Amino acid sequence: MIRMADDQGNSQARREGRIMRRSIVWGMILVGLGFGPPSPLERLGRFADPALVEVSGIVASRKYPGIYWVHNDSGNPPALFAVKLDGSVVRSYRVAAPNIDWEDLATDDRGHLYLGDIGNNENRLPIRVIHRLDEPDPTRPAPTEPLPLTASTFYKFPENGRFDAESLIVEPGRALVISKRFDGREAEIFAIPFDPPSGLLRPSLPVRLASLPGCSEPATGADLSSDGRHLSVVTTRAARVYRRAGRDDWSLVATVPFDAPGVEAICWSGRDLVLASEDRSVYRITEKTWTTATEAAR
């Protein structure tokens, strides 16, 4: 009787094993045929203009509906582009500032754009800068002269405290940069004064404000919602949404993992999120998608 029970148990285990293996194989086949779990990224378009070779910053205009501002990464001309979500270029402008390592864009409610020359590959640069300029009108022809800067604030690093950054947001009187870490520790937020700006000869020191819960992959872009209540951060593997928990603290409310190469920029579009990648793709994460992730995390 004992042997019979053992044989029956072994037979049942073998059957379950066969079923599991078949399920795994069919799952792999279905994924390969495009029947796997849907991607949270909705592809909206592609930057076909050859001038847009490596988009690393994006922000939605608050003055001109349907317009988004983008720029290229380092090694490219100092240019600013007004684009639509299908990737088409409406207007392009030269900017009166060198592109040492432009990494992100931000905006405010007063008609300003902010260029974050904040990249610091291998922590080689001792001083970084954030430029401010007036948002141009993309419905009019671009001027022949480069767009002038209205202010620039410079910051240096403490001894043995240099960091790389690709994420910029602005608040009244200050800019905030988010460190790009490669050691598995959470990204940190640093404040840079902008009212008044710090000059090149007297650069300010970044002030550490907080770390971002759960953001342990390299952060490649960020944006602040127009009401200042939500922060979006994109990394090499996920987009995250944070809710303000205090002036300098943020609580994680949603994590949306994705599988897409080289996503370098993120911005709010109403309550949706728009992402841009180095392969020139433009994606959207809908409000429904990230709020569903919020509810699932509760």
* Spans of all domains in the chain: 1-37, 42-296
Note the pLDDT of residue 30. Answer: 40
Confidence of residue 11 (pLDDT cuts 50, 70, 90): low
Architecture of the CATH domain 42-296: 6 Propeller (2.120)
- What tokens does 185 get? 């520790």
Report how far apart the first and last C-alpha atoms of the chain are (Å, whole number).
49
If one compares 163 and 16, the residue with the highest pLDDT of the two is 163
Among the residue ranges 26-35, 82-91, 137-146, 211-220, the one predicted with the least confidence is 26-35
How far apart are alpha carbons 57 and 85 in whole angstroms?
A: 14
The residue type found at 66 is G
**pLDDT above 90: residue 135:** yes
Say whether 293 sits in a helix, a strand or coil: helix
Total residue count of the chain as it appears in this document: 298
**pLDDT above 60: residue 106:** yes
Angle at 269 between CA 179 and CA 154, to 5 degrees: 35
Cβ burial, residue 5 (10 Å; 0-12/13-18/19+): exposed
- What tokens does 81 get? 């582009």
Note the pLDDT of residue 107. Answer: 98
For range 38-52, the mean pLDDT: 94
pLDDT above 70 coverage of the chain, percent? 86
**Arithmetic mean of pLDDT over the chain:** 89
